[in-house]
Amino acid sequence: MAELNERSQNILEAIVKDYIASAEPVGSRAITRRHNFNLSPASVRNVMSDLEELGLLCSPHTSSGRIPTEKGFQYYIDTLLQIRDLSDTEKKQLRKSYRFTGMRMEDIMQEVGRILSGLSKYAGLVMVPKFASTVFRQIEFVRLSQNRLLVIYVSQTGLVQNKVIKADADLNQQQLEKISNYLNRELNGLTIQEVREKLKNEMQEEKNLYDQLRKKALSLSCAALQDEVEDQLFVAGTSLMLEQPEFSSPDEMRRLIQTFESKKILIDLLDRSQSAQGVQIFIGSDIDLKGCSLISANFSNRKGALGSLGVIGPMRMNYSQVVPIVDFTAQLVSRVLDREAE
């Protein structure tokens, strides 16, 4: 992107800010009124015309004010946006909202989503990712029927997942207990990734294993960890999002609800942000949700990444307000989960 001179930058910034506040096209006169650039509307118009030329602004029709294009927002985010830190009071307040003692992981996540949504007035997202990267704590087997077992595993952070697998042999509850004891001893503290590795190695190494128990244990846990568990996604504040003027038409509403309902798109989105550090902003065509932006951050504990959270809203989001909230929340959640793991 070519450099803009200072005046153009100022005007672009003014337009973006005014548009964020009002959701209406911004005209040249309105700008001179609200900000005092000591410029006449006509001069502003000239600049606006240039900015339109550059693809940073557009006008919905010939005789209306300008609105920032996606590129305009991108420029604003990249070079104009100043993210203020939260004041200590704000931090304290935020910390006070986040009291999770005695809550289950699921409830914590849900609550975090709700709070994010409430603070931002947009929709809050929290994703607990595929189990793969989390740290193994315990595994239990429950015999459901002759060859169907319920596997329950618990991560270091207390996240509980379960699934049903088929067992080759019919094992009674006592045998299962022995197996889970064995596994818990062997695998405690490893990431699921590492557990998989280890199992794979041992399986190969000891094809003709004498130790029947161990053999069964290995085959069972392999089956249990074979395919991924789905990501869990918590969405909160959909209805707040619907209050935004960009979703005031029935069609737009339906589109949004459909997207949120399937969850798939949102999961993919947050998955993509998994790898990065700090706050990320996805905007417009980055994401499969026309006209929307996502501000996200990852949370993690000492042992590595655990999940992502964020706020999704119209492209015309109040970035300078929401970014620090998302950032700080991610930090808080990370700390809480560290404490949980102890």
Binding site for a copy of itself (CB under 8 A): 102-104, 137-138, 140, 142, 144-146, 148, 150, 152, 154, 158, 160, 162-166, 173, 177, 181, 184, 238-239, 242-243, 248-250, 253-254, 257-258, 261, 340, 342
Q: What are phi and psi of 91, to 5 degrees?
A: -60, -45
Task: Between 76 and 100, name the residue whose CB sits nearer to a copy of itself.
Answer: 100
Report the amino acid identity of residue 168: D
Which of these, 68, 86, 84, 64, lies nearest to 76 by C-alpha position?
Answer: 68
Sign of the alpha-carbon dihedral angle for 105, 109, 111, 115: positive
Minimum distance, C-beta of residue 32 to DNA, in the bound complex (Å): 9
Q: Which amino acid is at 70?
A: E
d(CA 91, CA 170): 55
Provide φ and ψ at 123, rounded to 5°: -95, 135
41 binds, among DNA, a copy of itself, none (CB under 5 to 8 A by kind): DNA
Residue type, 12: L
Footprint of DNA on 45-64 (CB under 7 A) = 45-46, 48-49, 52, 59-64
Return the amino acid letter for 178: K
For residue 21, report the phi and psi dihedrals to the nearest 5 degrees. -75, -35
Nearer to DNA, 53 or 342 (CB): 53
Which of residues 47 and 294 has its CB atom nearest to DNA in the complex? 47
What 3-state DSSP class applies to 156?
coil
Choose among a copy of itself, DNA, none what residue 40 binds, the Cβ cut-off being 5 to 8 Å by kind. DNA
Q: Which of 80, 253 has the CB closer to a copy of itself?
A: 253
User: Is residue 109 a contact point for DNA (CB under 7 A)?
Assistant: no
Residues 6+ positions from 331 with CB-CB distance below 8 Å: 299
Pick one of DNA, a copy of itself, none as the site partner of residue 187 (Cβ within 5 to 8 A by kind).
none
Name the nearest CA neighbour of 306 among 227, 232, 246. Answer: 232
Alpha-carbon span 105 to 128, nearest angstrom: 9
The least CB distance from residue 158 to a copy of itself, in Å, is: 5
Q: Select the binding partner of residue 78 from a copy of itself, DNA, none (C-beta < 5 to 8 A, by kind).
A: none
Question: Which of 43, 110, 181, 331: binder of DNA (CB under 7 A)?
Answer: 43
Closest approach, Cβ 118 to a copy of itself, in A, equals: 13
User: Judged by CB under 7 A, which of 26, 94, 128, 281 binds DNA?
Assistant: 26
Q: What residue ranges bind DNA (CB under 7 A)?
A: 25-30, 38-43, 45-46, 48-49, 52, 59-66
